[in-house]
């Protein structure tokens, strides 16, 4: 069997995809800018490469006919060249997108959803057999609050519309089925958790999970912008994140896609907190 190439393999979702592919006995190859620091299981062949430099992908792709694609940039500038390189070697790509993409809206509500919509269009035109995973807010994003909860028990930041937060392990479980099974070509799977939660509710659940009250304190967007820039975050990233806070609408969307594809119901945010509670203590 050809090796499956996983991009974003050292991130929250990609690392889960690698681990779950290994449990199926699949040969896995992981793309990393620095293979020496990837920290992946020994059974994984870690190959050097950078999606923004398509010439580095040729050797990484050799022998892989299926790719799990996470696009880690805020523009699609380098995407056409990367997809051309993938198409020279692979026949199938599974792309992690956003449930916020609205095919009937142009432009999209914010830069992040616009990026995913643009990537989806490029992938559909690439000639590859494709599957799109439109995931809702990912539970592991809450790790960004860990220091605030450990030190002050208060998460301060811009608010954003409530969504059905999904465990990254459930995204990976669906990704694995799409990577190794037939029947997913040309399909856009919308993936959510089982419960719509606001940021305040997520922080409350974390507090309950660690046995210490925690609360969310909404910060005006302009104040948040100043703080994020002072923390050294790139301007483009700051503006993209804050645009989401200002323009992303309420969503009560809950799907059963995870259970339909994997046979197991989507896990709750509370279960994610129980798994990761020590990170917040």
Phi and psi at 86, nearest 5°, equal -60, -45
Residue 204 neighbours by CB under 8 Å, 6+ apart: 214, 215, 216
Contact between residue 234 and residue 143 where contact means Cβ atoms under 8 Å apart? no
**Helices then strands, each counted (H, E), the chain:** 11, 11
Its pTM stands at 0.95
Q: What is the CA radius of gyration of the chain?
A: 19
pLDDT of residue 248: 78
Residue 42 neighbours by CB under 8 Å, 6+ apart: none
Residue 252 neighbours by CB under 8 Å, 6+ apart: 164, 196
Per-residue pLDDT band for 188 (boundaries 50, 70, 90) equals very high
**DSSP 8-state code for residue 266:** P
For the chain, list the domains and their CATH numbers: 3-137+166-192+254-264 (3.40.50.720)
DSSP 212-242: S--EEEE--HHHHHHHHHHTT--HHHHHHHH
pLDDT of residue 189: 98
pLDDT for 157-166, tens place per residue? 999 999 999 9
At residue 249, does pLDDT exceed 80?
no
pLDDT of residue 1: 59
User: Cα dist. 224→159, 197, 228, 245 in Å?
Assistant: 10, 21, 6, 11
pLDDT for 44-85, tens place per residue? 999 999 999 999 999 999 999 999 999 999 999 999 999 999
């Amino acid at each position: 069997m050809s090796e499956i190439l996983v991009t974003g393999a050292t991130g929250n979702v990609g690392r889960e995809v690698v681990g779950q592919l290994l449990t199926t006995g699949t040969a896995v190859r992981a793309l990393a800018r620095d293979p020496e620091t990837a920290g992946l299981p020994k059974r994984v062949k870690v190959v050097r490469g950078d999606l923004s430099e398509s010439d580095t992908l040729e050797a990484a792709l050799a022998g892989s006919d299926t790719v799990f694609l996470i696009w880690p940039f805020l523009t699609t500038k380098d995407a056409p060249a990367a997809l051309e390189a993938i198409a020279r070697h692979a026949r199938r790509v599974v792309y992690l997108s956003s449930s916020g993409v609205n095919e009937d809206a142009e432009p999209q509500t914010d830069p992040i959803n616009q990026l995913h919509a643009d990537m989806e269009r490029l992938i559909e035109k690439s000639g590859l057999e494709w599957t799109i995973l439109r995931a809702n807010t990912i539970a592991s994003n809450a790790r960004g609050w860990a220091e605030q909860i450990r030190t002050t028990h208060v998460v301060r930041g811009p608010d954003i519309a409530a969504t059905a937060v999904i465990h990254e392990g459930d995204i990976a479980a669906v990704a694995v089925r799409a990577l190794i099974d037939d029947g997913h070509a040309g399909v856009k799977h919308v993936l959510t958790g089982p419960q719509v939660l606001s940021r305040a509710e997520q922080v409350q659940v974390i507090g309950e999970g660690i046995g210490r009250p925690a609360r969310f304190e909404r910060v005006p967007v302009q104040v948040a912008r100043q703080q994020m820039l002072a923390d050294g975050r790139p301007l483009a990233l700051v503006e993209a994140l804050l645009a989401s806070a200002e323009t992303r609408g309420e969503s009560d969307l809950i799907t059963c896609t995870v259970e339909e594809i994997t046979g197991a119901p989507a896990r709750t945010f509370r279960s994610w907190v129980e798994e990761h509670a020590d990170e917040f203590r």
